[in-house]
């Protein structure tokens, strides 16, 4: 039984209504006893809260997320990064997450590991004199 249907049944019982017939229970019905009604309201609230706080499905990960890297993809990544593509563009191009691209660039010495969100390119002969052109990778 799905939770929506269970919630509807428990809510009807808590309101003193027979969920099968839609008629009110008689005054001497166990469903009219104060402790039973309170317990049914608690159960209905718990089902309602559970449906509201249910974890939303995670968005789809890129196709290559978590897969091993090969030498050719590494070469392509480094060439594209050195030509000025942003981390986001690289992630889309390689079917990887932004964090995956950043970690790979750190491994190859192109980014300095940082605790903050912004990653800065390492200064080197091929990066030090280039303008970053507002690509979001630091000064």
| 28-78 pLDDT, tens digit each | 999 899 999 999 989 988 888 877 776 666 778 899 998 999 999 999 999
Same domain, 63 and 114: yes
Count of domains in the chain? Answer: 2
Query: Does 134 map to a domain?
Result: no
Query: Does 90 map to a domain?
Result: yes
Same domain, 65 and 15: no
Phi then psi for residue 24, to 5 deg, are: -70, 145
Average of per-residue pLDDT values in the chain: 82
Please report the pLDDT score of residue 115 as a whole number. Answer: 63
pTM of the model: 0.46
Same domain, 44 and 70: no
Domain containing 71: what range?
59-118
Same domain, 46 and 67: no
Same domain, 37 and 76: no
Q: What is the DSSP string of 12-49?
A: HHHTTB-TTT-PBPPTTSGGGSHHHHHHHHHHHHHHHH
Q: What CATH number does residue 84 fall under?
A: 1.10.10
Query: Does 138 map to a domain?
Result: no
Please report the pLDDT score of residue 131 as a whole number. Answer: 39
Query: Does 22 map to a domain?
Result: yes
């Amino acid at each position: 039984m799905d939770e929506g249907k269970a919630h509807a049944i428990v809510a009807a019982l808590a309101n003193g209504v027979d969920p099968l017939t839609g008629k009110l229970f008689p005054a001497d019905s166990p469903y009219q006893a104060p402790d039973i009604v309170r317990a049914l309201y608690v159960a209905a609230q718990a089902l309602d809260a559970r449906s509201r706080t249910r974890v939303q499905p995670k968005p789809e990960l890129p196709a290559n997320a978590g897969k091993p890297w090969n030498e050719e993809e590494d070469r392509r990544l480094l060439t594209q990064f050195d030509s000025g593509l942003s981390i986001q563009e690289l992630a889309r191009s390689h079917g990887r997450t932004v964090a995956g691209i950043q970690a790979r660039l750190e491994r190859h010495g192109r980014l300095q590991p940082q605790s903050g969100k912004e990653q800065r390119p390492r200064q080197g002969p091929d990066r030090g004199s280039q303008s970053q052109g507002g690509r979001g990778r630091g000064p």
